[in-house]
Amino acid sequence: MKKYIITVILSIGHIILFAQQKLDGTVSDTTGRPIVNVNIADGEGNVLGHTDSKGTFSFTLKRSPVSLDFRKIGYEDKRIILQRQAHILRVVMTEKLTEIEEVDVYNTGYQTLPKERSTGSFFFVSEEKLNQVPTANFMEKLDGMVPGLQFDNRTGSSELHIRGINSFYSSSTRPLIVLDNFPFEGDINTINPNDIASVSVLKDAAATSIWGARAGNGVIVLTTKQAKMKDRIQINGGANIFVTQKPRLRYRQEMSSADFMDVEKWLFEQGHYGEAIDGVENRTQVYSPLVMLLYDVKNGFSTEDDVEKSISKWKQQDYRDDLLNHYYKQALRQQYNFSVSKSSNTDSYWIGLGYDRQAGPTDVMESDRFTVRGNLSYTIHPKVTLGANLSSSLSGNHLSLSPVNFPIIPGGGRTALYPYASLIDDNGNNLIIPRNYNSLFINSLTEPRLKDWTYSPFDDLNKSQGENAINHLQGGITLKADILENLKLDLCITPNGNGRKGVAITVWILIMHVT
């Protein structure tokens, strides 16, 4: 009997001893940083405790759980199978990556709105869509992207129109450009397209209610890239090289030199040129060498043999060959970009550099552009954020003031130059072609004090070259504060200038009621 009593007492003692087992441990993430307020429960869901500010926990087990569950919002759940001899645990939890559905957010220049809350006609172009068009010209990226956005090339330089093309002066029909919440007064081509994160286009009267009369032709809101929230330091770079072939001057079917001269001979025989050459105003009429040679034969200054020899030579000539061999070349465009960014709980920055260079498609056309942009944000208080941005662009163009465009238009009543013209001889000397005035009239000018009235396309091309430099600087300082729960304050100050008109400073204060 005594033996059974001792056995029962020892068994009870063993149970009581296990019930007093103490368990200590720490919980951290994959980087070793302690995790605060992690919920700890046994396998049946009974909460046993939480981690403290140092990520540690300590509690006494009243019975023997098989496993422990560790849960924390933003981290993957962790289950630990307990060993009987375990007294100290070290738990590592993995951060949970949640992919949220992409939402189109429109930027009016004053505030950002989700698509379902926006009123009026908006169109949004994301960074992914912009990257589908690798070009150094920002306007080329928008071509075909935005419904209703038209490009007017009537003046030789592309102009943007949102509400249709009309006959008014271009500056009065140009849409308002807003860059990082500030009106952009410079040339849109000075903006590096690799710095743009998104584009919002405001197309109807809602734009006028936001920006006033300046938005009467629509608004294009550009948002530059920023550092992503709580992102480690990121370094990005890229390079694009584009090679464009020479223009296909022979793509358009035109009359050959031989056929052209046959028509000229027939017209001369029909008396088409006779009265015009002998007329009073003949000096402002341009004629081809064949017509002038036939005129000399008629007046006894040349013979038919001279005509046949000249025609045999001119049949082999086409001035398009001179343009392709001595004027046009393959265009080479180089584009380089580099950026670095970093973000933390209180501050973030993004700095980007860009360099673009283009040579061609002619020997005298070159351009380059260097851009630098920086964005900085600092959280002074949970409800107050200070931001600053600065951008600078240095652009230069080298071009001819007298370009040789195909087809060459000589004037003097002619809409195109005769095809058998020669612009350069076999020795590389530039040749003269008629322009605006009859060659008989030009040769009759013997006054030595007069300047040379002859026209040599390649000579004029080399003598009249110019350079154009555009420097643009724009910056801004913003202060955003949550005054009350539904009341926000935005204070913005920005200087901007292009190096020629000085620097203008814009200040605006916006108080918004957010619902």
Mean pLDDT of 384-404: 87
Domain residue limits at 292: 257-317+402-463
Residues 406 and 395 in one domain: no
Mean pLDDT of 421-433: 90
392: number of CA atoms within 13 Å, CB side?
5
Residues 120 and 218 in one domain: yes
Whether the predicted pLDDT of 182 surpasses 50: yes
240-254, 433-447, 448-462, 481-495, range with the lowest pLDDT: 481-495
Q: Give me the pLDDT at residue 8, please.
A: 47
Residue 81: phi, psi to the nearest 5?
-85, 120
357 contacts 367 by C-beta, under 8 angstroms: yes
Residues 264 and 376 in one domain: no
Residues 113 and 150 in one domain: yes
Residue 393 belongs to a domain: yes
Residue 252 belongs to a domain: no
How many structural domains compose the chain? Answer: 4
Residue 229 belongs to a domain: no
Mean pLDDT of 504-511: 56
Residue 323 belongs to a domain: no
Q: Give me the pLDDT at residue 512, please.
A: 54
Give the integer Cα–Cα distance in Å for 183 and 191: 13
Tokens 């550009």 belong to which residue?
Answer: 222
Mean pLDDT of 73-90: 79
57-71, 235-249, 323-337, 344-358, range with the lowest pLDDT: 57-71
Give the integer Cα–Cα distance in Å for 64 and 374: 59
20-24, 36-40, 106-110, 216-220, range with the lowest pLDDT: 106-110
Q: Give me the pLDDT at residue 147, please.
A: 80
Mean pLDDT of 385-412: 87
Residue 76 belongs to a domain: yes
**322 or 445: whose pLDDT is higher?**
322
Whether the predicted pLDDT of 198 surpasses 70: yes
**95 or 153: whose pLDDT is higher?**
95
Whether the predicted pLDDT of 469 surpasses 70: yes
| CATH number for position 71 | 2.60.40.1120
Residues 181 and 162 in one domain: yes
Residues 457 and 473 in one domain: no
Residues 351 and 395 in one domain: yes
Residues 79 and 205 in one domain: no
Q: Give me the pLDDT at residue 312, please.
A: 92
Alpha-carbon dihedral 61, 62, 67, 68, rounded to 10 degrees: -50
Q: Give me the pLDDT at residue 135, please.
A: 79
Q: Give me the pLDDT at residue 252, please.
A: 82
pLDDT tens, residue by residue, 112-121? 655 555 566 7
Give the integer Cα–Cα distance in Å for 335 and 241: 6
Average pLDDT over the chain, rounded to an integer: 80
Neighbours of 515 (CB within 10 A): 5
Residues 114 and 83 in one domain: no
Residues 313 and 432 in one domain: yes
Residue 346 belongs to a domain: yes
Residues 407 and 387 in one domain: no
Contacts 24+ apart (CB under 8 A), 18-22: 18/63, 18/64, 19/61, 19/62, 19/63, 20/60, 21/60, 21/61, 21/64, 21/87, 22/58, 22/59, 22/60, 22/61, 22/87
340, two tokens: 């670095």
Mean pLDDT of 461-483: 83
Whether the predicted pLDDT of 101 surpasses 50: no
> Which of 31, 63, 92 is the last residue before a domain boundary?
92
- 175: pLDDT confidence band, cut at 50, 70 and 90? confident
Q: Give me the pLDDT at residue 261, please.
A: 94
- 309: pLDDT confidence band, cut at 50, 70 and 90? very high
Single out the residue of 497, 476, 479 nearest to residue 488, CA to CA.
479
Give the integer Cα–Cα distance in Å for 421 and 207: 55
Whether the predicted pLDDT of 221 surpasses 80: yes
Residues 352 and 428 in one domain: no
Residue 356 belongs to a domain: yes
The type of residue at 312 is: S
